[in-house]
Amino acid sequence: MKLSPAVCFFMLLFHRTQAFSYDYSATSKCLTEPQRAQYRGGTIKNPDFDHGIDGWTVFGHGSIIEGTSKDGNKYIIAKDRTQPLDGLSQMVQFEQRQIYSFSAWVQVNEGSEDVSVVFRIDGKDLIRAGKVIARNGCWSFLKGGVTANYSSPVDVLFESKNMRTEVWIDSVSLQAFTKEQWKSHQETIIAKERKSKVRIEVNYANGTAVEGAIVATKQTKSDFPLGCAMNHHILESTDYQNWFASRFKYTTFTNEMKWYSTEIIQGQENYTVADSMLKFCKEKGIFIRGHNVFWDDPKYQPKWVVNLSSDELRTAAAKRINSVVPRYKGQLIAWDVVNENLHFSFFEDKLGRNASFEFYVRAYQLDPSTVMFMNEYNTIEYCGDEKVSPANYIKKLEDMLSYPGIQGISAGIGLQGHFGLGQPNLAYMRSSIDYLGSAGLPIWLTEVSVANDPDQAQHLEEVLREGYSHPAVKGIIMFMGPAMAGFNETPLAHNNFSNTPAGDIVDKLLHEWNSQTTKTETDAKGLSEILLNHGEHSITVEHRLTNSLKTFSYNVTKRARGATLHVQVNG
């Protein structure tokens, strides 16, 4: 029999509009029995196959049969397949602008294979909406989703490219949400994960409660990093410096720390620009993510590196890492050690399949206190790039973390987040972060940008809110900036530093998440309860009758949830 989910990933008990919470920690686990379908299947008919194959049909060639576990759980087996999409199918109706969250539990009859959910739109266009590595002997959770661009009938299909494999399927769900519902869910999670209620009790010296005392709070520092990239133009423009420092306390240099910038000519290292930018950041209290030690894309090597022999490259790479990492030791909050080593393999092809892992070992030895990140694009923004699916990302990460010499490293998951034209696929973004978050490592969105289209500002807000609302995301860096510095894809400011629409969105969110102010009065028991963003707050308690004024700082954290602060005023 199927397991009842102890904690639903999206708990929406009876009404889709009801507030929900979810636990993503088990998303990548493999279970002996599947959980029942989320949302009771949503729009899917017979989602748990309690009624055999009623509501389901065969797609393509092959056959589908009913399977039963030793505990009596019913599921469907797709077998005798001759094409990747052969197997189980059900037709549903998509409605334009609805966000569709998909999930299912899958298994294969031997070994392990990639299994994807594919939506066939109006009988022709195929959209891959999620993938998992399914295994024999346990059930894996396949999760994904899509935003419907137009109303259409849709075939829900399952894809496995190894036609010898039997694909077992159970607990299928497809749940539709309006954008308003989706945003409401985000706000519910934000209130739960990014805020805490603080009780302030005001009394006279004799213990008598003070009614009507004014409690005012002003946030002075946020616990959540929302930062922005910068480039060398900041050294040339006071206006750029003022624009940046008045908004952001976290950054990544776009190119200035990369190998092709610091050693243009072999043997002639030059860190002048990066050092000057680092000095500016220190003066302004801005924290820096190091980007990057190496880049695995062959197009982005120093020109002189490309034609080196394997031995020459090994020597040059050792010189590079032994130079740049100690130079900035203890001055960065992160290093992208090998950028995009799922998409590309320049160093692995030249130096052996473990080249990336060896670089992580060396970076850890040279700077053991800094978090070392993998950093990839398309893992959350584009479900069609199978190389960097969440499952493949986790597999590469696990291989890296099990490599000799790397035990004890502080590792992180870097997701670039370069979103293309059109509506961002928020359902896929969330499902991907769920899967990656189950690894228990800090996730950062490291290079967020959105394509320049008429709805750019709206899309940017949707992406940033989705990242901020996910408990596994510990920080966001946007690869954006003022137009005068060449940030033309997602400019936040015009050449005169007035805001673009995207810049207005960023300022709005900075104010909402980093600059909270409140004012309340104590009740008859002398109590005031306030929901505050996590971070440092200046709290002022004023009793007008006695002209008593108390001001103090308090750091609101998740651990401090429900704390009562006792304040004594003059009587």
| DSSP secondary structure of 312-340 | HHHHHHHHHHHHHHHHTTTT-SEEEEEET
CA distance 269 to 255: 15
Q: Which helix (H) or strand (E) holds 218?
A: strand 214-222
CA distance 388 to 129: 14
CA distance 374 to 320: 18
CA distance 420 to 388: 16
Which residue in 104, 119, 92, 103 sits closest to 167, CA to CA? 104
Contacts (Cβ under 8 Å, ≥6 apart) of 281: 251, 287, 288
Which amino acid belongs to residue 204? Y
* DSSP secondary structure code for residue 99 in this structure: E
Which residue in 435, 436, 465 sits closest to 448, CA to CA? 465
Q: Are strands 481-482 and 517-521 parallel, antiparallel or unpaired?
A: unpaired
Is residue 129 within 8 Å of 119, Cβ to Cβ? yes
CA distance 218 to 221: 9
CA distance 380 to 367: 29
Is residue 557 within 8 Å of 196, Cβ to Cβ? yes
Helices (H), 114-199: 179-193
Which amino acid belongs to residue 136? N
- For the annotated catalytic residues, the residue numbers are 340, 447
CA distance 365 to 379: 28
| Burial group, residue 273, by CB count within 10 angstroms (0-12, 13-18, 19+) | middle
At 197, list the tokens. Answer: 């209620």
CA distance 20 to 12: 5
Contacts (Cβ under 8 Å, ≥6 apart) of 404: 361
Residue 292, preceding bond cis, omega within 30 degrees? yes
Q: Which residues is 521 bridged to in the sheet?
A: 214
φ/ψ (deg, to 5) at 94: -90, 145
Is residue 366 within 8 Å of 403, Cβ to Cβ? no
Q: How many CB atoms lie within 10 A of CB 299?
A: 8
Which amino acid belongs to residue 353? R
